[in-house]
Structure 1
Amino acid sequence: MRILPIASWGLDRVVPPAGATISGTFVPGGTIVGCQIGSIHLDKSVYGDDAATFRPERWLEAEESQRRRMDCAFLAFSAGKRTCTGIHIAWLEIKKTLPLLLMNFEDVRDQFRISAVKYPPEILMHIRKRELADTANV
Protein backbone atom coordinates (compact mmCIF):
# COMPACT_ATOMS: atom_id res chain seq x y z
CA MET A 1 0.00 0.00 0.00
CA ARG A 2 2.96 2.31 0.49
CA ILE A 3 4.89 1.42 -2.67
CA LEU A 4 1.83 1.47 -4.99
CA PRO A 5 -1.11 3.09 -3.23
CA ILE A 6 -4.54 2.41 -4.70
CA ALA A 7 -5.44 6.12 -4.75
CA SER A 8 -2.16 7.72 -5.78
CA TRP A 9 -3.55 11.18 -6.48
CA GLY A 10 -3.64 13.85 -3.80
CA LEU A 11 -6.88 15.17 -2.40
CA ASP A 12 -7.24 18.89 -3.02
CA ARG A 13 -6.96 21.28 -0.10
CA VAL A 14 -7.65 25.03 -0.10
CA VAL A 15 -4.99 27.23 1.51
CA PRO A 16 -6.45 29.31 4.38
CA PRO A 17 -7.20 33.01 3.59
CA ALA A 18 -3.99 34.22 5.28
CA GLY A 19 -1.89 31.94 3.09
CA ALA A 20 0.58 29.31 4.20
CA THR A 21 4.22 28.38 3.78
CA ILE A 22 4.44 24.89 2.31
CA SER A 23 7.87 23.29 1.95
CA GLY A 24 9.52 26.70 2.23
CA THR A 25 7.32 28.40 -0.38
CA PHE A 26 4.59 30.90 0.50
CA VAL A 27 1.28 29.97 -1.10
CA PRO A 28 -1.46 32.66 -1.20
CA GLY A 29 -4.82 32.05 0.47
CA GLY A 30 -7.52 30.42 -1.63
CA THR A 31 -5.00 28.47 -3.71
CA ILE A 32 -5.90 24.84 -4.27
CA VAL A 33 -3.00 22.55 -3.44
CA GLY A 34 -2.44 18.82 -3.33
CA CYS A 35 0.39 16.33 -3.17
CA GLN A 36 0.66 13.01 -4.92
CA ILE A 37 0.43 10.31 -2.26
CA GLY A 38 2.98 8.16 -4.07
CA SER A 39 5.64 10.88 -3.82
CA ILE A 40 5.12 11.17 -0.06
CA HIS A 41 5.32 7.39 0.33
CA LEU A 42 8.67 7.33 -1.50
CA ASP A 43 10.23 10.25 0.41
CA LYS A 44 13.81 9.20 1.21
CA SER A 45 14.04 11.66 4.10
CA VAL A 46 11.21 9.75 5.80
CA TYR A 47 11.63 6.12 4.66
CA GLY A 48 15.38 6.02 3.96
CA ASP A 49 17.49 5.69 0.83
CA ASP A 50 15.71 2.44 -0.06
CA ALA A 51 12.25 4.05 0.14
CA ALA A 52 11.20 2.49 -3.18
CA THR A 53 11.98 -1.01 -1.90
CA PHE A 54 9.34 -3.21 -0.29
CA ARG A 55 11.01 -3.82 3.07
CA PRO A 56 8.45 -4.05 5.90
CA GLU A 57 11.14 -4.64 8.50
CA ARG A 58 12.03 -0.94 8.29
CA TRP A 59 9.29 -0.36 10.91
CA LEU A 60 10.91 -2.88 13.25
CA GLU A 61 14.40 -1.45 12.80
CA ALA A 62 13.42 2.22 13.17
CA GLU A 63 13.69 4.25 16.36
CA GLU A 64 10.38 5.38 17.87
CA SER A 65 10.68 8.93 16.46
CA GLN A 66 11.41 7.61 12.95
CA ARG A 67 8.54 5.12 13.17
CA ARG A 68 6.19 7.99 14.05
CA ARG A 69 7.41 9.97 11.02
CA MET A 70 6.79 6.97 8.76
CA ASP A 71 3.33 6.40 10.25
CA CYS A 72 2.40 10.08 9.79
CA ALA A 73 3.61 10.02 6.16
CA PHE A 74 1.59 6.89 5.33
CA LEU A 75 -1.43 8.31 3.50
CA ALA A 76 -2.92 5.29 1.71
CA PHE A 77 -6.24 6.13 3.42
CA SER A 78 -5.62 9.90 3.36
CA ALA A 79 -5.57 11.77 6.67
CA GLY A 80 -7.37 14.31 8.79
CA LYS A 81 -10.90 15.30 7.83
CA ARG A 82 -10.65 13.34 4.61
CA THR A 83 -9.64 10.01 6.06
CA CYS A 84 -11.35 7.11 4.30
CA THR A 85 -14.51 6.17 6.17
CA GLY A 86 -13.73 2.49 5.62
CA ILE A 87 -10.21 2.61 7.11
CA HIS A 88 -11.05 0.51 10.17
CA ILE A 89 -12.78 -2.19 8.12
CA ALA A 90 -9.87 -2.23 5.65
CA TRP A 91 -7.28 -2.64 8.42
CA LEU A 92 -9.35 -5.40 10.00
CA GLU A 93 -9.50 -7.23 6.67
CA ILE A 94 -5.74 -6.81 6.18
CA LYS A 95 -4.95 -8.03 9.70
CA LYS A 96 -7.14 -11.11 9.24
CA THR A 97 -6.26 -11.93 5.62
CA LEU A 98 -2.48 -11.68 5.77
CA PRO A 99 -2.03 -14.24 8.60
CA LEU A 100 -4.52 -16.55 6.86
CA LEU A 101 -2.48 -16.39 3.64
CA LEU A 102 0.80 -16.94 5.46
CA MET A 103 -0.60 -19.91 7.40
CA ASN A 104 -2.04 -21.64 4.33
CA PHE A 105 0.36 -20.84 1.50
CA GLU A 106 4.08 -21.02 0.90
CA ASP A 107 6.04 -17.77 0.94
CA VAL A 108 5.61 -16.36 -2.56
CA ARG A 109 6.99 -12.89 -1.85
CA ASP A 110 9.50 -13.17 -4.71
CA GLN A 111 6.82 -14.12 -7.23
CA PHE A 112 4.03 -11.83 -5.98
CA ARG A 113 3.64 -8.58 -7.84
CA ILE A 114 2.36 -5.77 -5.66
CA SER A 115 1.06 -4.01 -8.75
CA ALA A 116 -1.53 -6.78 -9.07
CA VAL A 117 -3.49 -4.96 -6.39
CA LYS A 118 -3.69 -1.79 -8.45
CA TYR A 119 -3.81 -3.40 -11.87
CA PRO A 120 -5.28 -6.88 -11.45
CA PRO A 121 -4.20 -9.48 -14.00
CA GLU A 122 -6.72 -11.11 -16.29
CA ILE A 123 -8.33 -14.15 -14.66
CA LEU A 124 -9.77 -16.78 -16.97
CA MET A 125 -12.56 -18.95 -15.59
CA HIS A 126 -15.46 -21.11 -16.69
CA ILE A 127 -18.80 -20.46 -15.08
CA ARG A 128 -22.25 -21.93 -15.50
CA LYS A 129 -25.58 -20.98 -14.11
CA ARG A 130 -26.44 -22.79 -10.91
CA GLU A 131 -29.42 -25.13 -11.04
CA LEU A 132 -31.79 -23.92 -8.35
CA ALA A 133 -34.54 -26.00 -6.84
CA ASP A 134 -38.10 -24.87 -7.46
CA THR A 135 -38.64 -22.69 -4.37
CA ALA A 136 -42.28 -21.87 -5.19
CA ASN A 137 -43.47 -25.20 -3.79
CA VAL A 138 -41.25 -25.23 -0.70
Structure 2
Amino acid sequence: MKKGFDKKNTVSTSSIQVPVEIFGTELSPAEALVKYLKDYEHLTYSEIGKLLNRDQRGIWGAYDRATKKQTSSFQVHPSELLIPIEIFQDRDYPILEKLVVYLKDNQKLSVKQICEMLDKSKSTIWTVYKRARRKGNEE
Protein backbone atom coordinates (compact mmCIF):
# COMPACT_ATOMS: atom_id res chain seq x y z
CA MET A 1 0.00 0.00 0.00
CA LYS A 2 1.30 3.45 -0.95
CA LYS A 3 2.55 5.59 1.95
CA GLY A 4 0.00 8.20 2.98
CA PHE A 5 -3.00 6.23 1.77
CA ASP A 6 -5.55 4.07 3.53
CA LYS A 7 -6.92 0.69 2.41
CA LYS A 8 -9.41 2.34 0.03
CA ASN A 9 -6.46 4.10 -1.67
CA THR A 10 -7.64 7.53 -0.57
CA VAL A 11 -5.28 10.14 0.81
CA SER A 12 -4.58 9.69 4.52
CA THR A 13 -3.11 12.71 6.26
CA SER A 14 -2.18 10.95 9.47
CA SER A 15 1.05 9.41 8.22
CA ILE A 16 2.54 12.30 6.24
CA GLN A 17 4.77 14.77 8.03
CA VAL A 18 6.99 17.33 6.36
CA PRO A 19 10.45 18.36 7.62
CA VAL A 20 10.47 22.06 8.50
CA GLU A 21 13.80 22.53 6.68
CA ILE A 22 12.16 22.40 3.24
CA PHE A 23 10.58 25.80 3.92
CA GLY A 24 13.96 27.50 4.40
CA THR A 25 14.83 27.53 0.69
CA GLU A 26 14.45 30.00 -2.16
CA LEU A 27 11.11 28.38 -3.00
CA SER A 28 7.79 29.79 -1.82
CA PRO A 29 6.16 27.73 0.94
CA ALA A 30 3.60 26.31 -1.51
CA GLU A 31 6.30 25.41 -4.04
CA ALA A 32 8.46 23.77 -1.36
CA LEU A 33 5.56 21.75 0.02
CA VAL A 34 4.39 20.54 -3.39
CA LYS A 35 7.94 19.70 -4.51
CA TYR A 36 8.52 17.69 -1.34
CA LEU A 37 5.24 15.79 -1.66
CA LYS A 38 5.84 15.02 -5.34
CA ASP A 39 9.55 14.14 -5.13
CA TYR A 40 9.77 12.42 -1.73
CA GLU A 41 6.29 11.12 -1.00
CA HIS A 42 5.78 10.23 -4.71
CA LEU A 43 2.24 11.60 -4.80
CA THR A 44 0.43 12.60 -7.98
CA TYR A 45 -0.84 16.14 -8.58
CA SER A 46 -4.37 14.92 -7.91
CA GLU A 47 -3.36 13.26 -4.63
CA ILE A 48 -1.50 16.38 -3.50
CA GLY A 49 -4.51 18.49 -4.42
CA LYS A 50 -6.82 16.32 -2.32
CA LEU A 51 -4.34 16.28 0.55
CA LEU A 52 -3.98 20.08 0.60
CA ASN A 53 -7.59 20.84 -0.37
CA ARG A 54 -6.43 22.64 -3.52
CA ASP A 55 -7.00 22.34 -7.25
CA GLN A 56 -4.58 19.97 -9.01
CA ARG A 57 -3.90 22.60 -11.71
CA GLY A 58 -2.57 24.96 -9.04
CA ILE A 59 -0.49 22.10 -7.66
CA TRP A 60 0.96 21.48 -11.12
CA GLY A 61 1.78 25.20 -11.44
CA ALA A 62 3.52 25.29 -8.06
CA TYR A 63 5.57 22.20 -8.94
CA ASP A 64 6.49 23.62 -12.35
CA ARG A 65 7.70 26.89 -10.78
CA ALA A 66 9.59 24.97 -8.09
CA THR A 67 11.47 22.81 -10.59
CA LYS A 68 12.45 25.89 -12.60
CA LYS A 69 13.77 27.65 -9.50
CA GLN A 70 15.43 24.61 -7.97
CA THR A 71 16.46 21.93 -10.45
CA SER A 72 18.09 19.70 -7.84
CA SER A 73 16.19 17.70 -5.26
CA PHE A 74 15.95 18.79 -1.64
CA GLN A 75 18.69 17.53 0.60
CA VAL A 76 16.34 16.00 3.14
CA HIS A 77 17.96 14.80 6.35
CA PRO A 78 16.28 13.34 9.41
CA SER A 79 14.50 16.28 10.99
CA GLU A 80 13.90 17.00 14.64
CA LEU A 81 10.80 18.97 13.73
CA LEU A 82 8.18 17.47 11.46
CA ILE A 83 5.08 19.38 10.40
CA PRO A 84 1.80 17.41 10.12
CA ILE A 85 0.40 17.83 6.62
CA GLU A 86 -3.16 18.39 7.84
CA ILE A 87 -2.37 21.90 9.09
CA PHE A 88 -2.20 23.05 5.46
CA GLN A 89 -5.72 21.93 4.50
CA ASP A 90 -7.53 25.14 5.51
CA ARG A 91 -7.75 27.27 2.36
CA ASP A 92 -8.60 30.40 4.38
CA TYR A 93 -4.94 30.71 5.33
CA PRO A 94 -1.84 30.73 3.12
CA ILE A 95 0.68 27.97 3.76
CA LEU A 96 3.20 30.34 5.38
CA GLU A 97 0.59 31.63 7.84
CA LYS A 98 -0.43 28.12 8.89
CA LEU A 99 3.22 27.12 9.26
CA VAL A 100 4.18 30.13 11.38
CA VAL A 101 1.13 29.78 13.65
CA TYR A 102 1.84 26.06 14.10
CA LEU A 103 5.50 26.70 14.98
CA LYS A 104 4.70 29.56 17.37
CA ASP A 105 1.55 28.25 19.07
CA ASN A 106 1.94 24.46 18.96
CA GLN A 107 5.71 24.06 19.06
CA LYS A 108 6.19 27.14 21.31
CA LEU A 109 9.07 28.47 19.22
CA SER A 110 10.13 32.11 19.43
CA VAL A 111 9.89 34.45 16.46
CA LYS A 112 13.69 34.44 16.32
CA GLN A 113 13.83 30.63 16.12
CA ILE A 114 11.18 30.60 13.39
CA CYS A 115 13.11 33.26 11.44
CA GLU A 116 16.23 31.13 11.52
CA MET A 117 14.39 27.95 10.49
CA LEU A 118 12.55 29.53 7.60
CA ASP A 119 15.29 31.95 6.55
CA LYS A 120 12.91 34.90 6.75
CA SER A 121 13.21 38.28 8.45
CA LYS A 122 11.79 38.94 11.90
CA SER A 123 9.37 41.53 10.50
CA THR A 124 8.07 39.04 7.92
CA ILE A 125 7.42 36.33 10.51
CA TRP A 126 5.85 38.77 12.96
CA THR A 127 3.59 40.26 10.25
CA VAL A 128 2.51 36.81 9.04
CA TYR A 129 1.78 35.67 12.59
CA LYS A 130 -0.25 38.78 13.48
CA ARG A 131 -2.24 38.56 10.22
CA ALA A 132 -3.10 34.91 10.88
CA ARG A 133 -4.11 35.61 14.48
CA ARG A 134 -6.31 38.51 13.35
CA LYS A 135 -8.02 36.24 10.79
CA GLY A 136 -8.61 33.65 13.50
CA ASN A 137 -10.27 36.20 15.78
CA GLU A 138 -12.60 37.44 13.03
CA GLU A 139 -14.11 33.99 12.46
TM bucket, shorter chain: under 0.3
Flag the structure with higher helix content: 2
TM-score, length-normalised on structure 2?
Answer: 0.27
**Which structure has the bigger radius of gyration?**
1
